[in-house]
Each structure stands twice: as structure tokens, then as C-alpha cells.
Amino acid sequence: MKKTDKKDIKNRLVALHEPSNPQAEYFRTIKTNIEMANIDSQIKSLLITSPTQDSGKTMISVNLASTYANDGVKTLIVDLDLRRPSLGFAFPFLKSCPGLTGILDSSQKLTLDDAIVKIGDTNLYALPVGVRPVSPYSILNSEKLVQLIKQLQEEFDMIIIDTPPVLMVTDALLISKWVEACILIARGSYSNKKDVRKSLKSLRDSNANVLGAIFNNPQMKQTNYYYAESDA
């Protein structure tokens, strides 16, 4: 598999920087589909995962979060890919921020406001990982993280959580316990159907509310993003 250049994510934030670009329409369609999936009570926390690496999770998470923010929704994107944090590729200034691990480290005495970064003059906020933790499991299993997410759910109208691939580590399955819904990102050229099915099954076996899968076509031309029903 060709190695991708993560730095290129910051050039792909169409929904944030060029909301009238036709490509930003893909993300509005995804948002509409999410809304249609739960008409009676709007989803306010969403986990994004994929079967394997490099599927476009971070790129899509940030564009989707920007789409909500552009619609006036106070939106937070949380990087819970504690193994390969990527929000810093989208927003390089986040690399020096204390982030999630800063808040969880009580010796630093940080508040949420110290760790959450507002993105420009928008309704979009970001919580990066901060210093990469030695033991992601102990963070993901901590009561402190659950309490923090509850607090964030009170402060924000939408929280989008970027997570590691579901077939590689169990992080996304753990996180799915405290979010309202999940979406799987499959990369057109190299996510095979078997992996997609296996990932959907793992999420469902963990009682996750899986809304569906997005097939991400890296060429980003015409009908690139498909929103499939979750029985893929």
C-alpha cells in the first residue's frame, strides 16, 4: 500500500475553508443522512472509525465537524486516536497544546478551557490528544475520561470523535459504549468487503448504534462519497 502524506489533510478541509465548493456538498449529504437516521432525537455524539488504517477517518471527521459548525452547531472534534493522533495534521497549531492527556493529568491542574481550542472564528472546537500516552487502554478505561466526555456533552451540541481502526485495536469498541452513534469509513480502493462486514459485526456485537458506512474514494471527484445503509 502506498504510504499517504498526512500533512496533506490540511489541504482537504473543504467544508471548513470552502463551504461553497461542490466537494463540501458531500459532507452536507452525510450530515443530512445522520439527521435522517434519528429524526426524533438528534444525534449529539458520533464516533468515526474504519476497518484498517489510512481510510480517511481524520479527514472526514474534520470536514463533517466543520459542516455542523457551519450550520451554527457548537461542535467539538475530539482526537481519541491515542495511538496515531492526527488532528495536528489538520491543524498544526494543535501540536503544542496540552490536549486530553493534559486535562487528565491532575498535576497540571488544567481546565477544559485550557485544553479545548477554538478553530478561528467558527463554531468549531478541537480537543487534541496532547502528549501521546504510554498506555491508551488505561485512559480509555478510566472513569475520569467518562466523566470528561459527560461534561463535554453538556457544553457542546455535537461531538465527533476520531478513533483508531476497529480491526486493529479495541479502542473504538470501548469508546462506542459512551457515544450515541458510530460511522465506519471504508477506503474505496483497499478496504475489502470482508473487513467492512467484520468491522460492522464487531461494533454491533459491542451494542454500538452503527448508522452505516461511508465509502471514501480518494480521488474526490464527482460521486465520491457514498452513504450506505448499515447492512453492508
Ligand X SMILES: Nc1ncnc2c1ncn2[C@@H]1O[C@H](COP(=O)(O)OP(=O)(O)OP(=O)(O)O)[C@@H](O)[C@H]1O
Could you say which of Mg ion, ligand X, none residue 180 binds, taking C-beta under 5 to 8 angstroms by partner kind?
none
* Minimum distance from residue 52 beta carbon to Mg ion (Å): 12
Q: Is 9 in the site for ligand X (CB under 6 A)?
A: yes
* Minimum distance from residue 42 beta carbon to Mg ion (Å): 26
Cβ density class 111-134: b for 16+ within 10 Å, e for less: eeeebbbebeeebbbbbbbbeebe
Select from 49, 50, 55, 58 the one that contacts Mg ion (CB under 5 A).
58
**Separation of alpha carbons 222 and 17, rounded Å:** 19
DSSP 202: H
Q: Is 148 in the site for ligand X (CB under 6 A)?
A: no
Could you say which of Mg ion, ligand X, none residue 56 binds, taking C-beta under 5 to 8 angstroms by partner kind?
ligand X
List, edge to edge, every strand of the sheet that includes 226-228: 117-118, 124-127, 75-79, 158-162, 45-49, 181-187, 210-216, 226-228
Select from 47, 51, 58, 180 the one that contacts ligand X (CB under 6 A).
58
Select from 45, 49, 66, 86 the one that contacts Mg ion (CB under 5 A).
86
CB 164 within 8 A of CB 172: yes
Q: Is 211 in the site for ligand X (CB under 6 A)?
A: no
- H or E segment at 179? none
CB nearer to Mg ion: pick between 58 and 202: 58
- CA-wise closest residue to 213 among 176, 190, 186, 175: 186
CB nearer to ligand X: pick between 70 and 191: 191
N residues, the chain:
232
CB nearer to ligand X: pick between 137 and 150: 137
The site for ligand X (CB under 6 A) is made up of 4-6, 8-9, 12, 50, 53-59, 81, 84, 86, 165, 216-218, 220
